[in-house]
Amino acid sequence: MCAPSLWFEELAHVERLDILGFKQSELTSMEARSSWKGAVSNADVLIIGGGGLLEIDFFRSGFDYISQNRKIGSKLVLWGAGHNNWQIGDWRKLKQSVSIDHFGFDMIGIRDFNQGHRWVPCASCMAPEFDTKPEPAHDIVIYAHAATLKNPKLASSLPSGLPILDNQAPFKEVIDFLASGDLVLTDSFHGMYWATLLGRRAIAFPSSSKFYTSRHPMPLCDPSDWKAFTSMAQRYPDALAECREENLKFSKKVFQWI
């Protein structure tokens, strides 16, 4: 749901590729990998985004391949991606910055605020599902990563007795669920982001650095401490308009190349 091509008519015709499509572990078919490589090396414009693609080793090889094999004279755009440094240990000590100059981007828009690059939040804010905001049906709901709920230790750390949904649910169901709570507890970046766009309060349980540099910050804590942070959770009534405006302004500059 983070891909700009989902939300802008001007990108409806473009070819969509997985950033790691050159790897056999991602595309088992040699023909599919060859097609991916051909598309990258022949494209006049390459747009990468969004999601937590930066400062995480998993995606580094994709950025390296694209930057080294792009067509000479092509334009390389980063749109709505953000840092996602993850490591075992204290979540308060994770790296919270981006180092991307070596990739040779011609235009950069990152979802992390005040990080030395233009702020362009995740393009999923353009989804029409955010236009209608019903009254909350619950005081508190939990939106969690599916992997969290499958891990007995992590699952047991979450508050019990509250409505809960995992991030493998369909997008419309997720938005309806987040809107149903006045306060959203979540270990998902997009749970926090989408709740904010819906005018809901949120408290996040960080799993990586991606939670730290939001334009509209929410309290961050361990699941066991959430009650102590409820008074700090706030609404940002202008967040949806701000996020859409930045995406529209950025899109106009990008579309000059297409």
The CA distance from 158 to 29, in Å, is: 40
Record the tokens describing residue 59, joined without a space: 């995606």
Please give the pLDDT value at position 107: 96
Residue 65 to residues 36, 37, 40, 150, Cα–Cα distance (Å): 11, 9, 9, 33
Nearest Cα to 19, choosing from 250, 54, 169, 72? 54
Give me the residues paired with residue 202 across strands: 184
Q: What is the pLDDT along the chain (258 residues), one digit of tens a residue?
A: 999 999 999 999 999 999 999 999 999 999 999 999 999 999 999 999 989 999 999 999 999 999 999 999 999 999 999 999 887 667 777 777 788 988 999 999 999 999 999 999 999 999 999 999 899 999 999 999 999 999 999 999 999 999 999 999 999 999 999 999 999 999 999 999 999 999 999 999 998 999 999 999 999 999 999 999 999 999 999 999 999 999 999 999 999 877
Whether the Cβ atoms of residue 177 and residue 141 lie closer than 8 Å to each other: yes
| pLDDT for position 88 | 65
pLDDT of residue 89: 67
Domains parsed from the chain with CATH numbers: 4-125+242-255 (no CATH), 128-237 (3.40.50)
Distance CA 72, CA 57 (A): 26
Res 137: pLDDT: 97
